[in-house]
Amino acid sequence: MSEQTPVSPPEGERTDTEEQTTETTGQPGDGTTTNDTVSTGAESVVAALEQAGAETLFGVQGGAIMPVYDALYDSEELTHITMAHEQGASHAADAYGIVSGKPGVCLATSGPGATNLVTGLADANMDSDPVIALTGQVPTNFVGNDAFQETDTVGVTQPVTKHSYFAADADTVGTEVGEAFALADEGRQGPTLVDLPKDVTQGETDAFPGTPETPDTYNPPTEADADAVDSAAAALAEAERPVILAGGGVIKADASDELRQFAKEYEIPVITTMPGIGSFPEDHELSLEWAGMHGTGYANMAITNTDCMLAIGTRFDDRLTGGVETFAPDAELIHVDIDPAEISKNIEADHPLIGDAKHVLRQLDDAMAVAYEALDTSPEAYAEWREQCQEWKAEYEMEYDMPEDEPLKPQYVVERYSELADDDAIVTTGVGQHQMWASQFWTFTEPRTWVSSHGLGTMGYGVPSAIGAKIAAPDKEVVCFDGDGSFLMTVQELSVAVREDLDITYVVLNNEAVGMVRQWQDGFYEGRRMASEYPWIPQFDMLAEAFGARGFRLEDPEEVDEVIEKARSYDGPAVIDAIIDPAENVYPMVPSGGDNGLFALNGDQLGDL
């Protein structure tokens, strides 16, 4: 996914004494500006964002980016949210992009401001999330001279963006920002960055940017080759044990409706990847939920026994596949992806279909009707297979023990919240055991309601991502499940949720440990718990109150519903410090590199694998 052009480093200075408050510069726009004149490069940057239809920006002010912020002062189209840390800005923009479907925008100054964005950009790159980052830079004549707060931002970010630009001219900077915005959104979505030297943003220009367009050389495919589609449809129609594997690309392409229609029409069981959660309703009888290391036993059994897999918008990462030699060993693989680089990268595709998921699913639908007629078959041919999948669902049901004399179980907290919350509530998470419990025990029925860090696995993603999600969907309920370790990494962003008066509930599943690390140490390192347990941590309910949020402490299983409802009813950010059983681990579990069909349902079984 790399389309970068190396450039020299840049610079900028961060003014930490600047007041860190939100500047509301206007109401969300519709992609048109109130005037069509600019006088500086910075004004051209702002005009380009307005032309692109951007609405909300997340950032931290500073010296080298200050001309852009000054130009934002007069914008009637853009709203700026000042974050507590640049990493928080990048994660908020990332979540905004996931929920809204269009690029989120983050800003930072040069040097440490820009480098603090890198984790968020790498995260967005791994998960193909649309983000555009604008970074300040030292004046061009200082570049390469080790000026104050100079960093080679383009060089640093090239490996983790679709493209990183170094703006060299006030007359073209607006066009470059527009192109970066379009590129982040088109084809396989992902992050882009424009590095903005201060002399360029302060430079004079009357060049008003046009409608954002991708480069002429960038032409992502839309429809797959017709013959390849026919061949894939024939393979699927001839199968006896077909499954659909829906990845995050289904959601990125807004193809959830097409997926649902296709699966239901042909009555094919549906498995999702973790990024694909919500693409197919988990309460539907065809749903086997998500597969992989901590996926459901029935999803992993279906993958292991299928004879034909239609995989859509997935890169087959190692947490999904386990050992590639044992992944779907008997399956004929149909792989739909907009990025040719993903085809046969990890798992060999028998039928590569390169194109946009929405369009390719429509092509397949048409071709399946022809294939069914030619073979004189129907979805009834899969009836025995569907029955087998239902048997696996009963045999490997997602369950947990909850004895009366043991501490609160995290699964119960998630399960009860899912029952009490709105059907279209958005769930964000940090990374760790809490992330797995949230994805396992919440019932997802809609796309763009699951917001998490998958490929990079970024602890600290939860708190700022909930802010970005809520800004993108202000009328929807937003809950963030976090772990004590992950929460501590970006807890400062709680100040932003309070300042912006955002109605978000944070649930900290608190086991006083970096739980997933501890689980691995117990399972694979003979219980040597080095640096995975906290001898002391804050009381998060009290910490929330110090930030100006409402804090709740939860320990008694009988109080779960009451505390959740109190937090939900509070009109503003609330934090539930849920003191959970420290001995609880995440199961099912497939050991790293293992066979998906050989999963452990408890610690004893894990030791036998």
Given 198, 252, 358, 393, which residue is catalytic? 198
For 396-539, where are the alpha helices, taking DSSP H only? 410-420, 433-441, 462-472, 484-489, 494-499, 515-524
Closest Cα partner for 540 from 569, 576, 512?
576
For 432-557, where are the alpha helices, taking DSSP H only? 433-441, 462-472, 484-489, 494-499, 515-524, 540-547
Q: Has 202 been annotated as catalytic?
A: no
Q: What angle do CA 62, 163, 73 make, to 5 degrees?
A: 30
Helices (H) and strands (E) in the chain, counts: 24, 18
Closest Cα partner for 81 from 464, 428, 488?
464
Token readout for 581 is 């059983």
Given 11, 13, 77, 86, which residue is catalytic? 86
Chain-centroid distance, C-alpha 305: 29
Given 1, 309, 516, 589, which residue is catalytic? 516
- Strand stretches in 232-317, DSSP E: 242-246, 270-272, 287-290, 308-312
Count CB neighbours of 373 within 10 A.
Answer: 11
| Distance between start and end Cα atoms, the chain | 36
Given 18, 148, 476, 559, which residue is catalytic? 148
Longest dimension (CA), the chain: 74
* Cα–Cα distance measured from residue 11 to residue 155, given in angstroms and rounded to the nearest whole number: 12
Residues written for the chain: 609
Q: Has 149 been annotated as catalytic?
A: yes
Q: Has 86 been annotated as catalytic?
A: yes
Judge whether 357 and 313 are in contact, CB under 8 Å. yes
Q: Has 148 been annotated as catalytic?
A: yes
Dihedral, 31, 32, 37, 38 alpha carbons, nearest 10: -20
Kind of pairing between the strands at 56-59 and 104-108: parallel
Q: Has 142 been annotated as catalytic?
A: no
* Cα–Cα distance measured from residue 512 to residue 525, given in angstroms and rounded to the nearest whole number: 20
Kind of pairing between the strands at 426-429 and 504-510: unpaired
- Which residues are catalytically annotated? 86, 148-149, 198, 516
